Structure 1
Amino acid sequence: MIVRKLRLQKGWSQEQLAEMADLSVRTVQRAERGQSIGMESLKSLAAVFEVDLSQLHQPFTEEDDTMNEENMTWEEQRALEYVRDIKGFYSHLGSFACVIPFLFAINYFITPGYMWAWWPLLGWGIGLASHALSVFEVFPFFGPDWEKKQVEKKLGRKL
Protein backbone atom coordinates (compact mmCIF):
# COMPACT_ATOMS: atom_id res chain seq x y z
CA MET A 1 0.00 0.00 0.00
CA ILE A 2 2.83 2.41 0.78
CA VAL A 3 4.15 1.96 -2.76
CA ARG A 4 0.76 2.78 -4.23
CA LYS A 5 0.33 5.83 -1.99
CA LEU A 6 3.80 7.14 -2.85
CA ARG A 7 3.18 6.53 -6.56
CA LEU A 8 -0.14 8.38 -6.45
CA GLN A 9 1.39 11.28 -4.53
CA LYS A 10 3.94 11.67 -7.32
CA GLY A 11 1.19 11.38 -9.95
CA TRP A 12 2.88 8.47 -11.73
CA SER A 13 1.26 5.56 -13.49
CA GLN A 14 2.37 2.02 -12.71
CA GLU A 15 4.08 1.92 -16.10
CA GLN A 16 6.04 5.11 -15.37
CA LEU A 17 7.15 3.80 -11.98
CA ALA A 18 8.17 0.47 -13.48
CA GLU A 19 10.26 2.25 -16.11
CA MET A 20 11.96 4.56 -13.60
CA ALA A 21 12.75 1.68 -11.22
CA ASP A 22 13.75 -0.63 -14.08
CA LEU A 23 11.14 -3.19 -13.01
CA SER A 24 8.25 -4.91 -14.71
CA VAL A 25 4.75 -3.51 -14.30
CA ARG A 26 3.78 -6.85 -12.73
CA THR A 27 6.41 -6.36 -10.00
CA VAL A 28 5.05 -2.89 -9.26
CA GLN A 29 1.53 -4.32 -9.05
CA ARG A 30 2.69 -7.02 -6.62
CA ALA A 31 4.47 -4.42 -4.48
CA GLU A 32 1.34 -2.28 -4.36
CA ARG A 33 -0.76 -5.24 -3.21
CA GLY A 34 1.75 -6.08 -0.50
CA GLN A 35 2.88 -9.33 -2.07
CA SER A 36 6.49 -10.32 -1.68
CA ILE A 37 9.02 -8.95 -4.13
CA GLY A 38 12.79 -9.27 -4.17
CA MET A 39 15.11 -7.11 -2.10
CA GLU A 40 16.68 -5.62 -5.24
CA SER A 41 13.23 -4.56 -6.45
CA LEU A 42 12.51 -2.96 -3.07
CA LYS A 43 15.84 -1.12 -3.23
CA SER A 44 14.99 0.18 -6.70
CA LEU A 45 11.61 1.43 -5.54
CA ALA A 46 13.13 3.05 -2.44
CA ALA A 47 15.71 4.82 -4.64
CA VAL A 48 13.03 6.10 -7.04
CA PHE A 49 10.86 7.40 -4.20
CA GLU A 50 13.92 8.67 -2.30
CA VAL A 51 12.79 6.99 0.92
CA ASP A 52 14.43 4.61 3.37
CA LEU A 53 14.11 0.94 2.49
CA SER A 54 12.48 0.23 5.88
CA GLN A 55 9.50 2.43 4.89
CA LEU A 56 8.71 0.17 1.95
CA HIS A 57 9.31 -3.01 3.90
CA GLN A 58 6.46 -2.47 6.37
CA PRO A 59 4.11 -5.43 6.86
CA PHE A 60 0.95 -5.39 4.75
CA THR A 61 -2.30 -5.39 6.72
CA GLU A 62 -5.90 -5.84 5.63
CA GLU A 63 -6.53 -2.16 6.44
CA ASP A 64 -3.93 -1.20 3.84
CA ASP A 65 -5.97 -2.91 1.14
CA THR A 66 -8.59 -0.17 1.29
CA MET A 67 -7.75 3.47 1.45
CA ASN A 68 -7.95 4.57 5.09
CA GLU A 69 -9.93 7.81 5.00
CA GLU A 70 -8.67 8.90 8.42
CA ASN A 71 -5.10 9.30 7.12
CA MET A 72 -6.03 10.97 3.83
CA THR A 73 -5.70 14.63 2.92
CA TRP A 74 -8.71 16.68 1.84
CA GLU A 75 -7.73 16.29 -1.83
CA GLU A 76 -7.30 12.52 -1.51
CA GLN A 77 -10.71 12.22 0.16
CA ARG A 78 -12.32 14.31 -2.60
CA ALA A 79 -10.61 12.21 -5.28
CA LEU A 80 -11.81 8.99 -3.65
CA GLU A 81 -15.33 10.36 -3.32
CA TYR A 82 -15.27 11.47 -6.98
CA VAL A 83 -14.16 8.02 -8.15
CA ARG A 84 -16.93 6.40 -6.09
CA ASP A 85 -19.47 8.82 -7.58
CA ILE A 86 -18.32 7.98 -11.11
CA LYS A 87 -18.53 4.27 -10.30
CA GLY A 88 -22.08 4.79 -9.03
CA PHE A 89 -23.03 6.69 -12.17
CA TYR A 90 -21.69 3.99 -14.50
CA SER A 91 -23.50 1.35 -12.45
CA HIS A 92 -26.69 3.41 -12.86
CA LEU A 93 -26.05 3.75 -16.60
CA GLY A 94 -25.46 -0.01 -16.92
CA SER A 95 -28.75 -0.78 -15.17
CA PHE A 96 -30.53 1.66 -17.45
CA ALA A 97 -28.96 0.12 -20.56
CA CYS A 98 -30.05 -3.38 -19.50
CA VAL A 99 -33.54 -2.72 -18.14
CA ILE A 100 -34.94 -0.29 -20.73
CA PRO A 101 -34.46 -2.62 -23.75
CA PHE A 102 -35.98 -5.42 -21.65
CA LEU A 103 -39.03 -3.23 -20.94
CA PHE A 104 -39.40 -2.43 -24.64
CA ALA A 105 -39.22 -6.15 -25.45
CA ILE A 106 -41.93 -6.92 -22.87
CA ASN A 107 -44.00 -4.04 -24.21
CA TYR A 108 -43.64 -5.28 -27.80
CA PHE A 109 -44.68 -8.86 -27.00
CA ILE A 110 -47.40 -8.21 -24.39
CA THR A 111 -49.11 -4.96 -25.49
CA PRO A 112 -47.83 -3.95 -28.93
CA GLY A 113 -50.79 -1.60 -29.46
CA TYR A 114 -49.68 0.84 -26.75
CA MET A 115 -46.00 1.70 -26.28
CA TRP A 116 -45.94 2.35 -22.54
CA ALA A 117 -42.16 1.64 -22.31
CA TRP A 118 -41.48 5.22 -23.40
CA TRP A 119 -42.65 6.46 -19.97
CA PRO A 120 -40.03 4.59 -17.91
CA LEU A 121 -37.43 5.57 -20.52
CA LEU A 122 -38.35 9.23 -20.11
CA GLY A 123 -38.50 9.19 -16.30
CA TRP A 124 -35.38 7.13 -15.75
CA GLY A 125 -33.57 9.05 -18.49
CA ILE A 126 -34.24 12.33 -16.68
CA GLY A 127 -32.93 10.78 -13.46
CA LEU A 128 -29.84 9.48 -15.25
CA ALA A 129 -29.17 12.88 -16.83
CA SER A 130 -29.52 14.51 -13.41
CA HIS A 131 -27.08 11.98 -11.95
CA ALA A 132 -24.58 12.71 -14.75
CA LEU A 133 -24.84 16.49 -14.21
CA SER A 134 -24.23 15.97 -10.51
CA VAL A 135 -21.30 13.57 -10.83
CA PHE A 136 -19.46 15.33 -13.61
CA GLU A 137 -20.13 18.75 -12.05
CA VAL A 138 -21.39 20.35 -15.24
CA PHE A 139 -22.86 23.18 -13.17
CA PRO A 140 -20.50 23.32 -10.16
CA PHE A 141 -22.51 25.71 -7.99
CA PHE A 142 -21.99 23.55 -4.93
CA GLY A 143 -18.79 21.82 -6.04
CA PRO A 144 -15.73 20.82 -4.02
CA ASP A 145 -14.29 24.34 -3.93
CA TRP A 146 -17.49 25.73 -2.44
CA GLU A 147 -17.58 22.82 0.02
CA LYS A 148 -14.01 23.42 1.11
CA LYS A 149 -14.64 27.14 1.61
CA GLN A 150 -17.70 26.39 3.75
CA VAL A 151 -15.79 23.89 5.90
CA GLU A 152 -12.92 26.33 6.39
CA LYS A 153 -15.40 29.10 7.20
CA LYS A 154 -17.17 26.93 9.78
CA LEU A 155 -13.83 25.99 11.37
CA GLY A 156 -12.83 29.66 11.48
CA ARG A 157 -9.80 29.22 9.24
CA LYS A 158 -8.66 31.59 6.54
CA LEU A 159 -8.03 30.29 3.05
Structure 2
Amino acid sequence: MIIRKLRLQKGWSQEQLAEVSGVSVRTIQRIERGQTPGLETMKSLAAVFEVELSTLQPKEDTMTPEQLNTLRHTMTEEEKDALEYVRDLKGFYSNLTSYCVFITFLLILNLLTNPEYLWVVWPALGWGIGVAIHGLNVFEVTNFFGQDWERKQVEKRLGKKL
Protein backbone atom coordinates (compact mmCIF):
# COMPACT_ATOMS: atom_id res chain seq x y z
CA MET A 1 0.00 0.00 0.00
CA ILE A 2 1.00 3.60 -0.38
CA ILE A 3 1.56 3.97 3.39
CA ARG A 4 4.66 1.80 3.20
CA LYS A 5 5.98 3.78 0.25
CA LEU A 6 5.47 7.11 2.02
CA ARG A 7 6.99 5.76 5.24
CA LEU A 8 10.10 4.57 3.41
CA GLN A 9 10.44 7.88 1.55
CA LYS A 10 10.60 9.61 4.94
CA GLY A 11 13.13 7.02 6.13
CA TRP A 12 10.93 6.01 9.07
CA SER A 13 10.54 2.62 10.66
CA GLN A 14 7.07 1.30 11.44
CA GLU A 15 7.72 2.15 15.09
CA GLN A 16 8.62 5.75 14.26
CA LEU A 17 5.50 6.15 12.11
CA ALA A 18 3.38 4.70 14.89
CA GLU A 19 4.85 7.15 17.38
CA VAL A 20 4.35 10.26 15.22
CA SER A 21 0.86 9.31 14.06
CA GLY A 22 -0.51 7.94 17.31
CA VAL A 23 -1.41 4.67 15.59
CA SER A 24 -0.20 1.35 16.97
CA VAL A 25 2.67 -0.51 15.28
CA ARG A 26 0.36 -3.49 14.79
CA THR A 27 -2.12 -1.30 12.89
CA ILE A 28 0.67 0.04 10.68
CA GLN A 29 1.73 -3.55 9.94
CA ARG A 30 -1.83 -4.54 9.06
CA ILE A 31 -2.28 -1.55 6.77
CA GLU A 32 0.97 -2.30 4.97
CA ARG A 33 -0.19 -5.89 4.47
CA GLY A 34 -3.33 -4.64 2.72
CA GLN A 35 -6.00 -4.43 5.40
CA THR A 36 -8.33 -1.46 5.14
CA PRO A 37 -7.80 1.04 7.96
CA GLY A 38 -10.54 3.06 9.61
CA LEU A 39 -11.26 6.61 8.62
CA GLU A 40 -9.67 8.13 11.75
CA THR A 41 -6.48 6.13 11.19
CA MET A 42 -6.37 7.30 7.58
CA LYS A 43 -6.85 10.91 8.68
CA SER A 44 -3.96 10.60 11.17
CA LEU A 45 -1.66 9.12 8.55
CA ALA A 46 -2.67 11.72 5.95
CA ALA A 47 -1.85 14.48 8.45
CA VAL A 48 1.52 12.94 9.29
CA PHE A 49 2.49 12.55 5.63
CA GLU A 50 0.95 15.93 4.76
CA VAL A 51 -1.11 14.52 1.88
CA GLU A 52 -4.79 14.52 0.98
CA LEU A 53 -6.85 11.68 2.41
CA SER A 54 -7.77 10.55 -1.13
CA THR A 55 -4.06 9.98 -1.85
CA LEU A 56 -3.92 7.23 0.76
CA GLN A 57 -7.02 5.42 -0.42
CA PRO A 58 -6.21 2.47 -2.70
CA LYS A 59 -7.61 2.12 -6.20
CA GLU A 60 -10.31 -0.54 -6.57
CA ASP A 61 -8.45 -2.76 -9.01
CA THR A 62 -5.66 -3.29 -6.45
CA MET A 63 -7.97 -4.02 -3.52
CA THR A 64 -8.65 -7.39 -1.93
CA PRO A 65 -12.25 -8.67 -1.76
CA GLU A 66 -12.37 -7.74 1.95
CA GLN A 67 -11.24 -4.20 1.18
CA LEU A 68 -13.80 -3.89 -1.61
CA ASN A 69 -16.52 -5.11 0.74
CA THR A 70 -15.54 -2.48 3.32
CA LEU A 71 -15.50 0.20 0.62
CA ARG A 72 -18.96 -0.80 -0.61
CA HIS A 73 -20.38 -0.31 2.86
CA THR A 74 -19.08 3.27 2.94
CA MET A 75 -20.44 4.22 -0.50
CA THR A 76 -23.74 5.93 -1.17
CA GLU A 77 -26.46 4.06 -3.05
CA GLU A 78 -25.77 6.17 -6.12
CA GLU A 79 -22.07 5.21 -6.04
CA LYS A 80 -22.96 1.54 -5.58
CA ASP A 81 -25.29 1.69 -8.58
CA ALA A 82 -22.61 3.37 -10.69
CA LEU A 83 -20.03 0.76 -9.67
CA GLU A 84 -22.45 -2.08 -10.48
CA TYR A 85 -23.24 -0.53 -13.87
CA VAL A 86 -19.56 -0.19 -14.75
CA ARG A 87 -18.95 -3.82 -13.78
CA ASP A 88 -21.90 -4.94 -15.90
CA LEU A 89 -20.61 -2.86 -18.80
CA LYS A 90 -17.14 -4.38 -18.42
CA GLY A 91 -18.67 -7.86 -18.40
CA PHE A 92 -20.63 -7.12 -21.57
CA TYR A 93 -17.61 -5.76 -23.45
CA SER A 94 -15.55 -8.73 -22.30
CA ASN A 95 -18.26 -11.09 -23.56
CA LEU A 96 -18.52 -9.21 -26.87
CA THR A 97 -14.74 -9.28 -27.37
CA SER A 98 -14.59 -13.01 -26.64
CA TYR A 99 -17.44 -13.57 -29.09
CA CYS A 100 -15.72 -11.64 -31.89
CA VAL A 101 -12.35 -13.32 -31.38
CA PHE A 102 -13.69 -16.84 -31.01
CA ILE A 103 -16.21 -16.63 -33.87
CA THR A 104 -13.49 -15.20 -36.14
CA PHE A 105 -11.27 -18.14 -35.20
CA LEU A 106 -14.11 -20.59 -35.91
CA LEU A 107 -14.84 -18.90 -39.25
CA ILE A 108 -11.21 -19.25 -40.33
CA LEU A 109 -11.20 -22.87 -39.17
CA ASN A 110 -14.46 -23.51 -41.04
CA LEU A 111 -13.16 -21.94 -44.26
CA LEU A 112 -9.89 -23.90 -44.08
CA THR A 113 -11.44 -27.28 -43.34
CA ASN A 114 -14.85 -27.31 -45.03
CA PRO A 115 -15.62 -24.18 -47.08
CA GLU A 116 -18.68 -25.79 -48.75
CA TYR A 117 -20.68 -25.86 -45.51
CA LEU A 118 -20.63 -22.87 -43.17
CA TRP A 119 -21.27 -24.60 -39.86
CA VAL A 120 -19.83 -21.55 -38.05
CA VAL A 121 -23.22 -19.86 -38.51
CA TRP A 122 -24.75 -22.01 -35.75
CA PRO A 123 -22.38 -21.17 -32.90
CA ALA A 124 -22.28 -17.54 -34.10
CA LEU A 125 -26.07 -17.37 -34.02
CA GLY A 126 -26.42 -19.08 -30.62
CA TRP A 127 -23.72 -17.11 -28.87
CA GLY A 128 -24.74 -13.94 -30.71
CA ILE A 129 -28.25 -14.15 -29.29
CA GLY A 130 -26.74 -14.44 -25.81
CA VAL A 131 -24.48 -11.43 -26.38
CA ALA A 132 -27.41 -9.41 -27.73
CA ILE A 133 -29.56 -10.21 -24.67
CA HIS A 134 -26.62 -9.35 -22.41
CA GLY A 135 -26.25 -5.99 -24.19
CA LEU A 136 -29.99 -5.27 -23.96
CA ASN A 137 -29.88 -5.88 -20.22
CA VAL A 138 -26.72 -3.87 -19.59
CA PHE A 139 -27.89 -0.87 -21.62
CA GLU A 140 -31.33 -1.23 -20.04
CA VAL A 141 -33.18 -1.42 -23.35
CA THR A 142 -35.11 -4.32 -21.86
CA ASN A 143 -34.92 -5.09 -18.20
CA PHE A 144 -35.92 -8.71 -17.72
CA PHE A 145 -34.31 -8.97 -14.31
CA GLY A 146 -34.30 -5.33 -13.18
CA GLN A 147 -34.71 -3.75 -9.77
CA ASP A 148 -38.47 -4.35 -9.70
CA TRP A 149 -37.95 -8.04 -10.35
CA GLU A 150 -35.21 -8.21 -7.69
CA ARG A 151 -37.40 -6.39 -5.15
CA LYS A 152 -40.33 -8.74 -5.82
CA GLN A 153 -38.10 -11.78 -5.40
CA VAL A 154 -36.71 -10.48 -2.10
CA GLU A 155 -40.22 -9.71 -0.88
CA LYS A 156 -41.32 -13.18 -1.92
CA ARG A 157 -38.43 -14.79 -0.03
CA LEU A 158 -38.94 -12.69 3.08
CA GLY A 159 -42.72 -12.89 2.88
CA LYS A 160 -43.14 -9.15 3.38
CA LYS A 161 -43.14 -5.85 1.52
CA LEU A 162 -39.97 -3.75 1.30
TM-score w.r.t. the length of structure 2 is 0.52
Q: CA deviation at 1:145?
A: 6.2
Aligned residues: 103
Deviations 1:110-138 (A, max 9, x none): 11121100001100101101111111111
Residue matched to 2:121: 118
Structure 2 gap segments, 5+ residues each: 1-45, 61-67
In structure 2, C-alpha distance between the alignment counterparts of 1:72 and 1:104, rounded to whole Å: 45
Q: Which residue of 1 aligns with 2:52?
A: 57
Q: Is the 8 A contact 1:78 1:144 kept in 2?
A: no
**Distance in 2 of aligned mates of 1:136 and 1:91:** 15
5+ residue gaps, structure 1, are: 1-52
- Which one of 128, 142, 146 corresponds to residue 139 of structure 1? 142
Q: Specify which of 87, 105, 108 is matched with residue 108 of structure 2.
A: 105
Question: 1:16: which partner in 2?
Answer: none
Aligned partners of 2:128, 2:113: CA distance in 1, in Å?
A: 23
Give runs of aligned pairs for residues 14-33 of structure 1, distance below 5 A. none
Q: Structure 1 residues 104, 150: closer, same or farther in 2, change over 3 A?
A: closer
Residues 30-60 of structure 1: per-residue CA shift (max 9 Å, x gap): xxxxxxxxxxxxxxxxxxxxxxx96963361
| Structure-2 change in CA distance of 1:95 and 1:74 (3 Å) | same
Give the SS at the match of 1:70. helix
Of 92, 96, 121, the residue aligned with 1:93 is: 96
Distance of 2:121 and 2:152 partners within structure 1: 43
Deviations 1:52-85 (A, max 9, x none): x969633615xx3226111111111111000000
SS state at 1:115 partner? coil
> What is the aligned-residue identity percentage?
49
Name the larger-Rg structure: 2
Counterpart code for 2:118: M
The answer to whether the 8 A contact 1:89-1:132 is kept is yes
Map of 1:73 onto structure 2: 76
Q: CA deviation at 1:88?
A: 0.6
Structure 1 residue matching 2:88: 3-state secondary structure: helix
- Between stretches 82-91 and 137-146, larger displacement belongs to 137-146
Query: Alpha carbon RMSD of aligned pairs, Å?
Result: 3.2
The runs of at least 4 aligned residues of structure 1 exceeding 4 Å deviation read 53-56, 145-152
